[in-house]
Amino acid sequence: MKRLIAFVALLLPLALLGGCVATSSYMTKTSVVPQPTPDKALVVFMRPSRYGGGVQASVYDTSNGANEFIGIVSAKTKIGFLASPGQRLFMVIGENADFMNADLQAGKTYYVLVSPRMGAWKARFSLLPIHKDASAKYNIQSKDFAQWQQETNFVQTTPGADAWYQSHEADITAKQADYMRKWNAASARQKAELTLHADDGT
């Protein structure tokens, strides 16, 4: 029996991280392509990978000491967020919490890769800045980026999305506090690698 339990425990994360793709019922596909405004920057969070497709990633602007719920990014989707310019801190929640700095200019569009990886029981996620510099690992001039754009669909929150966030807010805040300690302890170099720069906008 113990061997069976151990075997199921091994298979569970593999099943969650495999080809199964689930779309959140709190998000809906939209044909409207969001645009930046003269006083706001547009940040596009895209998740092109099917890896971890059974697990959702929720994203937040946590710049001002209070979390602003942006939405839930499922596999093969992307969501646009109009953000105030200047220094911002974004967060993604899965099994873990992870963070990314951004320095934004109004009127520009920026791109962020929501990247899944294996966790203990379900997918963990990172936010990876997509740079303008063609020499960067993730950049808007690459063939990968062009494919990501083509293979992902814009989604937007449904009326029930805010209610979902409110019902999970305590758990999200607790996870944020736990992982924020790790983020605060990261080196300047590590944080620099997880920073979206003002000139990365288009």
pLDDT higher than threshold 90 for residue 127 = yes
**What pLDDT digit, counting tens, does each position of 33-73 carry?**
999 999 999 999 999 977 655 678 999 999 987 899 999 99
**DSSP assignment letter at 39:** T
Determine the average pLDDT of the residues in 99-123.
85
Is 135's pLDDT higher than 50?
yes
Mean pLDDT of all residues in 109-132: 83
- pLDDT for 3: 40
Q: What pLDDT was estimated at residue 64?
A: 81
Does residue 19 surpass a pLDDT of 70?
no
137 to 89, 141, 143, 153: CA distances (angstroms): 21, 11, 12, 23
Q: Name every residue whose Cβ is closer than 8 Å to that of residue 150 and which is 6 or more positions away in sequence.
A: none
Q: Mean per-residue pLDDT for 16-23?
A: 50
Confidence at residue 71, expressed as pLDDT on a 0 to 100 scale: 94
Task: Among 53-57, 94-98, 127-131, name the one with the lowest average pLDDT.
Answer: 53-57
pLDDT level of residue 21 (50, 70, 90 thresholds): low
Q: What are phi and psi of 134, to 5 degrees?
A: -65, -20
| pTM for this entry | 0.85
Strand ranges (E), 63-192: 68-73, 77-83, 86-93, 97-104, 109-117, 124-130, 153-157
- Dump pLDDT digits (tens) for 170-190: 999 999 999 999 999 999 999
